[in-house]
Chains A and B, each alone.
Chain A
């Protein structure tokens, strides 16, 4: 493997690229959420307010309209996804640098893409299938602390499941056929995921009269927001990590 003379960028440079990729991907995710998700949130809030007016003694969650107006919250969506995206992009860049210390060759941001895919699977899809996103009017305020803790635990378990998959892949030797290595990866991932799903508590708090189609549309929009976020972070980060000189020097001579 040819060692090239150009020096790799220092940590802070990689971190800034990750933050930038995350911020832009977060704003893109916000745009998706604004178009696909906001109409569903409005519809859900209308249902929530109708329920509150019907039984004023229930004392359910109030939307503090006095504090931030609905249009303010719609704009705040971009602030939330932008900041969250920047944080995730920075964490991805940090993981990339830590991983790259084990690696000698220039990888053209490939492990950044792999990490973004791993994060999408472990930190988004695995938790989502157990604890799907809920619109306003769904969810009992009395269990919010339990649901927050179990959700965070599920994010950790999802990442452990992906890690178990990569362990399985590497446990089967390099000489083994590809299908066997991938099967070991799938096995390791599924083992942790299925055990987590069985052990972790479930919450069934969708009101009986909440429209099923609205719930489905909201959840699809929520999942789509995260898919846009992580796809964007992975692609933008890999694009920023691309180094034309190193890419040409590493290209096979044919």
Chain B
């Protein structure tokens, strides 16, 4: 973009492409983490229903459909 010459805050020094990959990886990992809490029933966590049951109350009180 035309504004890339000025010293904008928070722009990754190594450039836009690397920032893009960092952002995409971050979003993917954080979405997976939120999924583990809110929806997973053992398919991802490989813990059977243990994590699912452990976080049962949190899911209800965060407002996620549970059962």
Contact = CB atoms under 8 A, between A and B. Distances in A.
B9 A222 contact: no
B11 A37 contact: no
Contacts of B67: 61, 136, 139, 141, 144
Contacts, number: 160
Interface of B (DSSP majority class): helix
Given A100-B9, A104-B6, A106-B9, A133 B54 contact: no
B53 A67 contact: yes
A64 B31 CA distance: 27
Given A11-B10, A83-B33, A103-B9, A151 B64 contact: yes
Contacts of A14: 10
A91 B36 CA distance: 15
Contacts of B3: 104
Interface residues of B, number: 40
Most buried by A among B3, B57, B62, B64: B57
A223 B8 CA distance: 38
A41 B9 CA distance: 46
Nearest to A33: B61
A11 B22 contact: yes
B58 A104 contact: no
A182 interface: no
A86 B57 contact: no
Interface of B: 3, 6-13, 19, 22-23, 26-27, 30-31, 33-34, 36-39, 48-50, 53-67
